[in-house]
Amino acid sequence: MNRKTLGIALGVTTVAAGAVTAAALASIGWKHHDTRHVGGRIHAVVIDENAGNIHVTSEVRRDVLVHSTTSWIFHEPHLRTNVVNGVLRIETRAGGLLSGTNYRVTVPNGVTITATTDAGDVKVDAVSRHITAKTDAGDVHVTVPAGRYAVDADTDAGDVKVRGLVRDDSAPHSISARTDAGDVTVEAR
C-alpha cells in the first residue's frame, strides 16, 4: 500500500470513527444549547475546540453571535468566551473522549477569522480580510466574494478544489484552508 493510499485509508477511518461518536452522542448523551451575544470592538475571532463542527458566517452587524450545541456522555465540556485587545476567543475544552461542541458563529463583515477543530468539519462563508480554517479530521469549505486572494489550500488525504477566485500571493486578502484527512474547497460565491 503506497503512502497516499494509506493516508486516505487512515483519513476515512478517522472520519468514520468521528461520525460513530457523533451518532452515539446524539442518541444517548446529554445535550446543552447556548446562545451568546458578544459586543465590543472586535477585529478578530478565534474558535478553537477539540471535537465538533464549526460554521462561521458574516454579515453587517456590530456584535458576534455564538450558538453552540454541546453533547457529552461522561464529562461536560466547558465553553469559554473572552475578548482581549479586540480578539474574541471561543474555546471548548476538557470534555473527555465522548464529547463535542458544534458552533454556528455570525461575525461582523471584515473581521479576521480563525476556526480550528481536531475532529469535525469547518465551514466559513464570510467577508473577511484573513481566514484560517483547519481540522485534523474532516472537511474544510470556505466561500468568499469573488476577487483576488492569497490562498493556501492543502490536505494530506483527500481532494483540494479552488475555484471562482483569482489566486494572487500579493492580494490583501488571504485564506488558509487545511485538513489532514478530508476534502478542502475554497470558492467564490
Q: pLDDT digit string (tens) for 117-157? A: 999 999 999 999 999 999 999 999 999 999 999 999 999 99
Distance CA 38, CA 32 (A): 19
pLDDT value at 84 more than 60: yes
- How far, in Å, are 150, 181, 182, 183 from residue 164 at the CA level? 13, 24, 21, 17
Give the pTM.
0.85
Distance CA 91, CA 82 (A): 9
State the average pLDDT for the chain: 89
CB 112 within 8 A of CB 128: yes
| pLDDT band at residue 25 under the 50/70/90 scheme | very low
pLDDT value at 7 more than 80: no
Distance CA 64, CA 37 (A): 6
CB 90 within 8 A of CB 48: yes
Distance CA 97, CA 29 (A): 12
Q: Which helix (H) or strand (E) holds 25?
A: helix 3-28
CB 124 within 8 A of CB 115: yes
Q: What pLDDT score was predicted for residue 88?
A: 98
Q: What pLDDT score was predicted for residue 16?
A: 54
Distance CA 67, CA 37 (A): 9
